[in-house]
Amino acid sequence: MLRICVGRLWTAGPVGGHRRYTRPSVKSSVETLEGNKVKLYVEVDEAEFDHDIDRAFKLIAKEVNLPGFRAGKAPRKVLEARVGVGVAREQALRDAVPQYLAKAVREHEIDLIAAPEVEITDGTETGPVEFDATCEVRPTITVEGYAELRVELPSITVDDDDIAEAREAELKRGGSLADADRPAQTGDFVTLDLAATRDGDEVMGLNTEDWSYEIGQGWVTDDFDDQLTGASVGDELTFTSTPKGTEEPADFVVKVTAVQEMTAPELTDDWVSDNLGEFDTVDEWNDSLRESLAETKLNQARQSLVRALNESLAGLVDVEIPEAMVDADLNQRVQGTVQQFQAQGIDLGQWLAATGQEPDQFIESMRGASVEAVKVDLALRAVADAESLEVEPYDFDAEYARMAMQYGQKAKDIRKAYEQNDAVPELQAQIRKSKAFDWLIHHVDFVDAAGEAIDRDTLLGHTHDEDGGHGEVQDVQAAAAAVIAATDAEAAAATESDTTDNEEETTS
């Protein structure tokens, strides 16, 4: 028995029971196994496979120099006598079996999540070719309680404390610093000589002199402000702590050269008029602050909506998820991060050394995000099934148009690429997921940290028509589209890869 490795085959669709597909020269059937697996059985008759052997001989002819024949022009009979049929048959098996497998996968709508394990059971030497393929497929799950989700977002309510904090920040910008004849406390500005090393080597970005730092900003390390609080001019602090954004601790030496306190001006109508220009009174400034803070908070809540909803949805998935899906997402995530580093001109090795990480740590640090992404994928598909969300022809038109705008191509060319490379089922799945996400943002409850409800119409930017219904959804309507934008890269990459393969095959 011969085993053949195949690359990923891109399909999407349900699998169940034991079904059979037959055409005159190729027969295939599928059997459901345990553990999210199915087995494909494929039989190719001798006459059909002989065409594949003939194509293999044509490839061999290009590589074999025979007297009296131009390259690639030696007849099959001559090649059979020279190299034998066995060599061509082996070549045909390597080339044709993956193609027969891909067709069977599409015909039976098998939603693969990993490369199948293929075993040729008959026909390695003569006669019809038979092989089977054990395929790991995407599991179909159900999620309970998705319609009753309470998703926590930043509050969009502006209170008096928010306005007071904004006023204080602006007043500080117009304030002055004076030496404080006392130990440092929160809110003071300290001037520091900072040195951080790890195993005797300087930690990038954490060695400087005469650095002015406001205690309470929470920079450098989690306990950096605690170390500075109570320090006086001339003190030299030594401690070990883990710099933010890194995995390994570092040794710090911090010398305090100055401790200063901020003296802010008194808030009066005259100060507002003299320093802010566009306002004449404190009340006018307060009204403006309230309006701008409300807009800022609303934008913050909208920006966190997708992430927060995904986290809540993933929390409902309590089934064991396939490692193959996690590994595939993790691999794509790591490649994307490496490409971002390269685009920014950052050497990954130097960055890892500076942050105290080994390559394996760097990769594993992303695994949690991949696990969540897989759970969200399965959950969104489950919601789409439960709510009977279907993809209509105009949905495809809209998505092709969106991608055309994004990639600067024609919609018809993108459609053609998806159709030629059998990527339409994957795109259909992504659109259904987008519809499921859109359904969720219009049905789940959004609350702030105190458990208070956040008005959905305000959050989503609904306008109301004269009949009291909802008009156009403005800003956050793009949130559902973001699901496709975040997940269709894999299908697009596959389409591009398949197109390249097809071009090479045609050239051959």
pLDDT at 480 over 70: no
| pLDDT greater than 50 at residue 494 | no
How far apart are alpha carbons 444 and 147 in whole angstroms?
6
- Cα distance between residue 73 and residue 87, in whole Å: 18
What is the per-residue pLDDT for 5? 52
Of the listed ranges 9-23, 85-99, 354-368, 425-439, the one predicted with least confidence: 9-23
The alpha carbon of residue 432 and the mean position of all alpha carbons in its chain are separated, in whole angstroms, by 18
Farthest-apart Cα atoms in the chain, separation? 104
Between CA 260 and CA 195 the distance in angstroms is 21
- What confidence score (pLDDT) does residue 68 get? 64
Residue 250: both structure tokens together: 């570092």
30 pLDDT more than 90: yes
Tokens 């060319």 -> residue: 413
Q: Is the pLDDT of residue 393 over 70?
A: yes
Q: How many CB atoms lie within 10 A of CB 142?
A: 14
Write out the DSSP string of 29-84.
Answer: EEEEETTTEEEEEEEE-HHHHHHHHHHHHHHHHHH---TTS-TT---HHHHHHHH-
The rounded distance, in Å, linking the Cα atoms of 189 and 175 is 12
In the chain, what percentage of residues exceed pLDDT 90?
Answer: 70
Tens of pLDDT, residues 70-84: 676 778 888 877 788
Is the distance from CB of 441 to CB of 305 less than 8 angstroms? yes
Kindly report the average pLDDT of the chain as a whole number: 86
pLDDT tens-digit map of 277-305? 889 999 999 999 999 999 999 999 999 99
Q: Report pLDDT digits (tens) over 424-433.
A: 999 999 999 9
Which long-range contacts does 329-336 make (Cβ < 8 Å, 24+ apart)? Answer: 329/370, 329/373, 329/374, 330/363, 330/366, 330/367, 330/370, 332/489, 332/490, 333/366, 333/369, 333/370, 334/362, 334/363, 334/366
The DSSP result for 415-478, as a single string, is: HHHHHHTT-HHHHHHHHHHHHHHHHHHTTSEEE-TTSPBPPHHHHHTEEE-TTSSEEEE-GGGH
pLDDT of residue 86: 87
**What pLDDT band is residue 376 in, cutting at 50, 70 and 90?**
very high
Helical pair 367-386 and 323-343, crossing angle rounded to 10 deg:
120
List pLDDT tens digits, range 327-357.
999 999 999 999 999 999 998 888 888 788 8
The β-bridge partners of 464 are 470
List, for residues 449-476, the tens digit of each pLDDT value: 999 999 999 999 864 444 444 443 434 4
Return all residues near 59 (Cβ < 8 A) that are at least 6 apart: 91, 508
DSSP state, residue 124: S
Percent of the chain with pLDDT over 70: 85
Output the six-digit token pair for 254.
């911090």
CA angle 191, 256, 170 (to 5 degrees): 30
pLDDT band at 4 (very low <50, low <70, confident <90, very high): low
Strands 150-152 and 445-447: parallel
- 0.85 exceeded by the pTM? no
The mean pLDDT of 241-257, rounded to a whole number, is 93
pLDDT the model gives residue 26? 92
Angstrom distance (rounded) from CA 333 to CA 99: 29
Q: Which residues contact 19 (CB under 8 A, 6 or more apart)?
A: 29, 30, 108
Question: In this structure, are residues 389 and 480 in contact, taking their beta carbons and an 8 Å threshold?
Answer: no
Distances (CA, A) of 258 to 184, 210, 211, 213, 504: 9, 9, 10, 10, 69
- Tell me the CA distances in angstroms from 349 to 28, 421, 465, one per residue in order: 49, 37, 57
Supply 151's token pair.
């998703």
How far apart are the C-alpha atoms of 13 and 109, rounded to whole Å?
5
Domains of the chain: 2-136 (3.30.70.1050), 176-263 (3.10.50.40), 289-319+372-507 (no CATH)
